[in-house]
Amino acid sequence: MEVLLQQIINGLVLGSMYALVALGYTMVYGIIGLINFAHGDVLMVGALTSWTIIGIMRDASPGMPGWMVLIMATIIAMVVCAALNYTIEKLAYRPLRSAARLAPLITAIGMSLLLQTFAMIIWKPNPKSYPNLLSTDPVAIGGAVISVTQITILATTVITLAFLMWLVNRTNLGRAMRATAENPRVAALMGIKPDTVISATFIIGAMLAAIAGVMWASNYGSVQHAMGFMPGLKAFVAAVMGGIGNLAGAVVGGVALGLIESLGAGYLGKLTGGVLGSQYTDIFAFIVLAIVLTLRPSGLLGERVADRA
């Protein structure tokens, strides 16, 4: 029972990080129909930037409380990632918006690789340990243990999601985004500038990814240039699972995938009598994707799968 509770907590934490990244995928896909492969690497840049900022701030003012350092580092990482993603969209994706469907996809993969390479050049390829800036005393809940970092992750995710929902559903920008996703041409006729909306979408997605990156680094205590690719892919799977283009779906898919992975890792060994162990965790996401695409390609909450060739 304790194991179950523990795995559920771990799954929720993992899932909330997937959800934040999945939102970035799903918003971009909803508007321009592109799988932004580089999105996971934006998470990586966020994590590594915050790592650098934390190092600098700790040297500059050692007395500053940990949570303040973390907040400052997160904000700077968000700004850096927003600028980066804005630039990527402008330089690499915008010129290809009307090109054949293969071209933007290949560019996106190349961009992902390029970001990883630049990160290797700037930060060197070795893994770096990420400091734990919050209290290290774990909190016990009914036999399971949850760290302060994990509680913070869950709380931050809830706040971020609430803010995003407000942004998308209540503001002019959000309305413009939804309109562009629905039909870019008609939206443009209504006086919306699609380019501005798309840029805004990339910026918001990058900020969410930066937050997720800091969370990921804090939770696992290590940062490296390749850290973003797998979470990025899995978040994409989460977005597809929830119904790509659907914001609530991305959150549901993210949390569901987190739970599947965490419970799977905890119980796979027992279920298969030791034949398969937790080292197969990375496979779940792809199996889930194959199943979803076969049985319900529109996802759990999805309305449509656009067949734009």
Partner 1 sequence: MMNNQTGKLVVFFIAAVALLALPLVLQATGSNSWVRILDIALLYVLLALGLNIVVGYAGLLDLGYIAFFAVGAYLFALLGSPHLSDTFPAIKAAFPDGIHYNIWLVMLVAAAVAGVVGMILGAPTLKLRGDYLAIITLGFGEIIRIFLLNMDRPVNITNGPKGISQIDTITVFGVDLGKRLEIDLFGFSYTFQPVTLYYYLFLFFVVLAIVLSYRLQDSRIGRAWMAIREDEIAAKAMGLNTRNLKLLAFGMGATFGGISGVLFASFQRFVSPESFSLMESVMVVAMVVLGGIGHIPGVVLGALLLAGLPELLRHVAHPLTAMTDGRLAPEILRQLLIALAMVVVMLIRPKGLWPAPEHGKSLNK
Please report, as ranges, the residues that interact with partner 1 according to CB under 8 A.
Answer: 35, 91-92, 95-96, 99-107, 109-111, 113-114, 116-117, 120-122, 124-125, 229, 233, 236-237, 240, 274-275, 277, 279-280, 282-283, 285-287, 289-290, 293-294, 297, 305-309
CB of 24 to partner 1, least distance (A): 16
Amino acid in position 279: Q
Amino acid in position 169: N
Quick one: 63 or 274, whose CB is closer to partner 1? 274
d(CA 274, CA 268): 8
CB of 37 to partner 1, least distance (A): 9
Distance, C-alpha 127 to centroid of its chain: 20
Quick one: 190 or 306, whose CB is closer to partner 1? 306
Quick one: 65 or 110, whose CB is closer to partner 1? 110
CB of 80 to partner 1, least distance (A): 20
CB 41 within 8 A of CB 228: yes
CB of 96 to partner 1, least distance (A): 7
Quick one: 71 or 122, whose CB is closer to partner 1? 122
Quick one: 8 or 226, whose CB is closer to partner 1? 226
Task: Give the DSSP per-residue string, 91-147.
Answer: IIIGGGTTS-THHHHHHHHHHHHHHHHHHHHHH-SS-EEPP--S----EEETTEEE-
- For the chain, the distance separating the N- and C-terminal CA atoms, rounded to the nearest angstrom, is 49
